[in-house]
Amino acid sequence: MNPTVLISLFVFIAIIFIVGLWSSRNVNRKESTFLQEYFLGSRELGGFILAMTMVATYGSASSFLGGPGAAYTQGLGWVLLAMSQVATGYFVLLILGKKFAIMARRYDAITLTDFLRKRYNSKAVVILSAISIIIFLFSAMTAQWVGGAWLIESLTGLSYTSALFVFAIAVLIYVIIGGFRAVVITDTIQGVVMVVGTLIILVGTIIAGGGISNIMNDLVTENPNLITPFGHDGGLTPAYVSSFWILVGVGVVALPQVAVRAMSYKNAKAMHRSLIVGTIVVGFIMLGMHLIGVFARPILPGIEVADQVMPLITLEVLPPWLAGIVLAAPLAAIMSTVDSLLLLVSSAVVKDVYLNYVKPDATMRRVKQVSFGVTAVLGVLVFGLALSPPDLLIWLNLFAFGGLEAAFIWPLIFGLYWQRANKSGALASMVAGVASYILIHNFWPHPFGMHSVVLPVVLSFFAFVIGTYVTDRSRGKQQASF
Amino acid sequence: MENNKSWNANDRRFKIANREALIGVGLAIFNFIWWYSFAYGLGSKPVEEYTYVFGLPAWFFYSCVVGLLVVIILVIIIVKFFLVEVSFDDDDSDEKDGRGRP
């Protein structure tokens, strides 16, 4: 294997360790607010860091490996589909926005479940949401680990098990020592690497392909469908592509890993700055990454495994030393996603379950030990699963996004903006959303030509409204305590 | 958790928040319409009739490239002229409530 690639990889991991150790000093110093600090970075994020951590958490492996691979196969139609994600850059912060920031502070909420617990005052809502988070995100995380190990394997030539081991050690030490603040700071570094990497590879690919017009001619010669909005075989219908606006566009507000970031910023100024930076960065990365996938096709025809398009085109169009640095970006993307998911699942266990129902009067010292312990145990569990990933986990990973959106979108939105929203509505909505999503996903994959997430989101909306009105009438006007 | 402030009516910050959420919905709808109409309006023709801008098919250029630039400009305009700075803490909200109205 090319030594240059190895050097940049290890330099990158070393930088991560240094940042983690450096930020961990904050965790030790602020003993009294350990939970706030470890899981939320004491709500002190500035605008630029907030934007980058949102983009990096969301962007992850899907945009750096899966996305360009799909664009390579499908052509410009997949880039069109991917551009639905630009909405996340502004939508999440404008919708949750100031209301969520104010309410989260008022409730002293650290997790999405915290917010729901205080808003609806219902044990059932808390348990249902903690279970959804633990199951869905745990599976999503395991699949990311498999992706990370696969990437290290292909970059270094290590065996899969050794690669997984290297990856696991790096992630675990980092998350355990650093907490949320360390994670968002590396997210920022990784976001910058992703932006610069995208730009360099895009320009390199266009030059290697002899200019955009030339590349388009080659694509038309091979298969004219590649430059239409309909995919290589005409299979991307407008209804299907549009439904991704729900799955990866506006629905992203309800993902716990995204929502938790929307309660972590310092002030309105940080939020405003993040809106601008986030929209520019997410738009540029999505457009650039996926265009690279399409442009790579005439240059490197016949790649069998679509996920390899990005590493291969990078090695093809850039000098080795530069390729080594740029390839740190996909690894960065996967690591930051894994870091934040790990933190989130452990906060669901410690904060939502342990502190609420097991030992509410735990001392700060005890909470700290449990937090580190749970994070470490979860890491080891994920490692064990990733050693030989069962098919179910891969399936659950694909499923996790839609499931979380169907569960949380209306309890969160109505909880913020509809005063009468009550716990019956929230419960009805979560049950209807998750149950219908599981059923539709398995038995009716593309209802009316749309992605399977669309109908459950609609159904859970009506379940919420009906659930709220029915109980509202029978019990009289509920006086909420907020 | 008892709080003296009622849900919406008395806290001016929540009116601001509601308005900004509606702006977000409006922007997303505009974004979607722009994206959809250029992509399928210009892209549904046979490939032989496609026109090209900077080497890219016109449908793609207007829908994705220009669309992105338009959205970025709109976000900047919204942030600079329509969003209001408020405090997030309950303690000093009264003190800061009076300022920053556009």
In this structure, is residue A475 part of a structural domain?
no
- Asked if A105 is an interface residue toward chain B (Cβ–Cβ < 8 A), one would say yes
The answer to whether B70 faces chain A, any CB pair under 8 Å, is no
H helical segments located in B11-60: 12-43, 58-60
A184 Cβ contact partners less than 8 Å away, ≥ 6 residues apart: A41, A45, A49, A50, A52, A53, A261, A264
H helix and E strand count, chain A: 20, 0
- A269–B85: do the CB atoms touch at under 8 Å? yes
Tens-binned pLDDT, residue by residue, of chain A (482 aa): 567 767 776 777 677 667 766 766 665 555 546 667 766 776 777 778 788 778 777 665 455 667 888 899 899 999 999 999 899 889 999 999 888 988 888 888 888 888 998 999 888 898 888 888 887 787 777 777 877 777 777 777 788 888 888 888 877 777 776 667 777 777 777 788 788 888 999 999 999 999 999 999 999 999 999 999 999 888 889 999 998 898 888 888 888 888 888 888 888 888 899 999 999 999 998 899 899 999 999 999 888 777 778 878 888 888 877 777 777 766 766 777 777 778 778 887 887 778 777 777 777 788 778 888 888 888 888 888 788 766 655 556 667 888 889 999 999 999 999 888 999 999 999 999 989 988 888 788 788 888 888 999 999 999 999 999 888 765 544 444 44
Would A98 be classed as within a structural domain?
yes
A90 to B75: CB separation less than 8 angstroms, yes or no: yes
- Per the domain annotation, does A131 fall within a domain? yes
Test mutation, A99, A222, A294, A481, chain B, max B CBs within 10 A: A99
Nearest to B90 among A106, A228, A284 (CB): A106
Q: CB of B20 within 8 Å of any CB in chain A?
A: yes
| Beta carbons within 10 angstroms of residue B56's beta carbon | 21
Q: Does B9 contact chain A (CB < 8 Å)?
A: no
Query: What would the two tokens of residue A161 be?
Result: 């098990």
**Rounded to the nearest 5 degrees, what angle is found at the Cα of A394, between the Cα atoms of A388 and A400?**
135
B13 touches chain A (CB under 8 A): yes
Report the CATH number at residue A376.
1.20.1730.10
| A441-460 residues touching B, CB cutoff 8 A | none
DSSP class of B52: E
Asked if A212 lies within 8 A of B1 by C-beta distance, the reply is no
- Token digits for B7? 């849900």
Helix (H, G, I), strand (E, B) or coil at A187: helix
Q: How many domains does chain A have?
A: 1
Pairs of residues, one from chain A and one from chain B, whose beta carbons lie less than 8 Å apart: 148
- CA distance linking residue A288 with residue A191, whole number of Å: 14
Q: Which residues between 285 and 324 in chain A have a beta carbon less than 8 angstroms from any beta carbon of chain B?
A: 287
User: Taking CB atoms and an 8 Å limit, are B75 and A97 in contact across chains?
Assistant: no
Comparing alpha-carbon positions, the chain A residue that sits nearest to B12 is A99
Q: Is residue A405 part of a domain?
A: no
For residue A21, give its domain range. Answer: 3-394
A441 belongs to a structural domain = no
Q: Structure pTM?
A: 0.83
Cα–Cα distance measured from residue B55 to residue B49, given in angstroms and rounded to the nearest whole number = 14
Smallest Cα–Cα separation from B99: which of A420, A221, A268, A348?
A268
B25: Cβ contacts below 8 Å, ≥ 6 apart: A95
Tokens 């994206």 identify what position?
B35
Q: Which residue has the tokens 């994070």?
A: A375
Nearest-CA distance B18 → chain A (Å): 7
B42 touches chain A (CB under 8 A): no
Q: Measured between beta carbons, which residues in chain A are less than 8 angstroms from residue B56?
A: 212, 216
Where do the DSSP E strands lie in A165-281? none
For residue A244, the chain B residues in CB contact (below 8 A) are: none
A118 touches chain B (CB under 8 A): yes
Q: Is A99 on the interface with B (CB under 8 A)?
A: yes
Burial of residue A319 (CB within 10 Å: 0-12, 13-18, 19+) is: exposed
pLDDT tens readout for residues A155-187: 777 888 888 888 888 777 777 766 677 777 777
Length, in residues, of chain A: 482
In the numeric block, which tokens belong to residue B69?
A: 């630039």
How near does any CA of chain B get to the CA of A373, in Å? 31
Interface list for A 399-418 with B (CB within 8 A): 417
Phi, psi of A265 (to 5 degrees): -90, 160
Helix (H, G, I), strand (E, B) or coil at B34: helix
Measure the CA dihedral B71/A231/A399/A373, to 10°: -70
A415 in any annotated domain: no
| Contacting residues of B for A225, CB less than 8 Å apart | 47
Work out whether strand B52-53 and strand B56-57 pair parallel, antiparallel, or are unpaired.
antiparallel
Buried b (16+ CB within 10 A) or exposed e, A155-170: bbebeeeebbbbbbeb
Q: Are A136 and A375 a contacting pair, CB within 8 Å?
A: no
How far from each other are the two terminal CA atoms of chain B, in whole angstroms? 33
